[in-house]
Amino acid sequence: MEKSAGSREHGPDLNALLRSLPSVDELAARLEGVPHARAVPAARAVIAERRGQLAAGEVGEVDLRAEAFEWLERAARPSLRAVVNATGVIVHTNLGRAPLAPAAAAAAAEAGRGYSNLEYDLEHGERGSRQAHVEGLLCELTGAEAALAVNNCAAAVLLAAAALAAGRELIVSRGQLVEIGGSFRVPDVVAQSGARLVEVGTTNRTRLADYERALGPDTGAILRAHQSNFRTVGFVEDVEIEELCGLGVPVIDDVGSGALAERVPELADEPPVRRSVAAGCAITCFSGDKLLGGPQAGLMVGKRDAIERCRKHPLARALRIDKLSLAALEATLRIYRDPAGALRELPVLRMLTTGEDELAARAELMRSTLAEAGVDAQVIRADAKVGGGALPLLELSGPVCAVDPAPLSLDELARRLRAASPPVIGRARQGWLLLDPRTLDDAEAGAAASGVIAALR
């Protein structure tokens, strides 16, 4: 084993320490069983890192061979991998938003495994449309005349604005010029469509008369954007979608998170897609990967002529949905044909509606597992959020497992859990690590508890 030793207090200069390091080829040759093509990058990386440490005055002993094997292990891990979400945040943007139903995940895997009839009409033996796999389902579930799927909801709004209002005016309430995730703002997204935004009303109050005064021969459409990730309360006023559709110009309604499930009290604060379609919107846009519980997608439903204009627009090609997302989306939409089954099979809806007894049992499972290993943990009550820019006022209160990180600091325990396999992500409160059972099944709860035990050891 190669070790660099000594300290500045005992006199070795930097050049002597650097000369003591092995060459890349020497270290690579000592990585038994590792192919040369992999050993050389590992040796080069750890030697370069060690040079930097020595230059910074870190002159303690380091086993470069062991460091190289650790580097190889890290390099072999996929960058995008599964984690255990113990945060309680259901639609966690940083953790991949909605987990797919088993049927949707299987459909994506099947579509990716080989060839498929993505754009091939099996009945007539000729080229078909990828939209055919989901358009009928979207129309059936929303009551729309036509439908289109693109790669995300922002893309759907962009395409709708470009198809209906490019070079013309697009009227929008000032209170709906919101910023969405990643610092992207609705005005900036819409501006790329070529439409000219005309702002009406004020931040907190917009009336029907404000829209009426703005209408003119150059009006292309009205845009309504749902305040997905915040709410304006107090002295507020807005215009119902039915009133907007009665103004005689096309309405683009961005309803955000995609509330297709009916009679679910937790979704009461989200605008139903069916209502916008029934009101007569030219195009209603919503997400496939938030409250809908499917893959990332932007769904567009509405009038046949408006959807056809979107379908033929050049942007439709640039924004089209891929085959894996399309397969998962079709499977997800099929689940919605059975409303009761959707509550059981779609993880997002199941987590939203999980009962107190089930949550308490899972929290106790984690607590008892930790206690048997000598870890101080207790079941307490805490609130979580839906996340993903959806239902910002809804507090998801329930039992959670609170873990005392001692003898580690909370930051160090969290760091070790992130480095675990699989990584475990919880949330912090007043010096405790909270493991929320809402976003865990029984197996994941066991993995979270085991991860904590291993990290504390």
CB 280 within 8 A of CB 251: yes
Per-residue model confidence as pLDDT tens digits over 420-451: 989 999 999 999 999 999 999 999 999 999 99
Residues of the chain with CATH 3.90.1150.180: 84-93+351-456
Neighbour tally for 18: CB within 10 Å: 14
> What whole-number distance in Å separates Cα of residue 384 and Cα of residue 429?
12
Give a three-class secondary structure readout of 211-251. HHHHCCCCEEEEEEECCCCCCCCCCCECCCHHHHHCCCCCE
Ranked by mean pLDDT, which of 78-82, 184-188, 386-390 comes out on top? 78-82
The alpha carbon dihedral of 360, 366, 368, 370 has a sign of: negative
Q: Which two tokens stand for residue 140?
A: 């059936």
Do you find a cis peptide bond into 272, omega within 30 degrees of 0? Answer: no
Which CATH number describes the domain made up of 102-345?
3.40.640.10
Q: Which two tokens stand for residue 376?
A: 């101080």
DSSP string, 19-84: HTSPPHHHHHHTSTTS-HHHHHHHHHHHHHHHHHHHHTT--S--BHHHHHHHHHHHHHS-SS---E
For residue 424, is it left (φ>0), alpha (ψ between -120 and 50) or beta? beta
Global pTM? 0.88
> What whole-number distance in Å separates Cα of residue 104 and Cα of residue 330?
8
Per-residue model confidence as pLDDT tens digits over 34-48: 999 999 999 999 999
> What whole-number distance in Å separates Cα of residue 68 and Cα of residue 369?
35
Q: Helical H runs in 114-184?
A: 135-142, 153-165
Per-residue model confidence as pLDDT tens digits over 310-331: 999 999 999 999 999 999 999 9
pLDDT of 183: 59
Domain topology for 84-93+351-456:
Aspartate Aminotransferase, domain 1 (3.90.1150)
What is residue 353's three-state secondary structure?
Answer: coil
| Spatial CA neighbour of 291 closest among 315, 258, 317, 313 | 258
> What whole-number distance in Å separates Cα of residue 9 and Cα of residue 26?
29
- Read off the pLDDT band of 229 (50, 70, 90): low
> What whole-number distance in Å separates Cα of residue 447 and Cα of residue 451?
6
Mean pLDDT value of segment 386-414: 89
pLDDT of 180: 65
Q: Helical H runs in 347-441?
A: 347-352, 356-372, 410-418
Neighbour tally for 80: CB within 10 Å: 5
Q: Provide the percentage of residues in the chain whose pLDDT is more than 70.
A: 94
Instruction: Say if residue 214 is exposed, middle or buried (CB neighbours under 10 Å; 0-12, 13-18, 19+).
Output: middle
CB 20 within 8 A of CB 47: no
Rounded (to 5) percent helix, strand, coil in the chain: 45, 20, 40
> What whole-number distance in Å separates Cα of residue 53 and Cα of residue 44?
14
Per-residue model confidence as pLDDT tens digits over 130-183: 999 999 999 999 999 999 999 999 999 999 999 999 999 999 998 888 766 655
* Angle (deg, nearest 10), helices 64-76 and 36-55: 120
- Read off the pLDDT band of 184 (50, 70, 90): low
Q: Which two tokens stand for residue 369?
A: 């597992």
- Read off the pLDDT band of 268 (50, 70, 90): confident
> What whole-number distance in Å separates Cα of residue 332 and Cα of residue 294?
6
> What whole-number distance in Å separates Cα of residue 59 and Cα of residue 421?
31
Q: Residue written as tokens 């040369």?
A: 36
Residues of the chain with CATH 3.40.640.10: 102-345
> What whole-number distance in Å separates Cα of residue 254 and Cα of residue 234?
23
Q: Is the pLDDT of residue 10 over 50?
A: no
Residue type, 159: L
> What whole-number distance in Å separates Cα of residue 406 and Cα of residue 413?
9
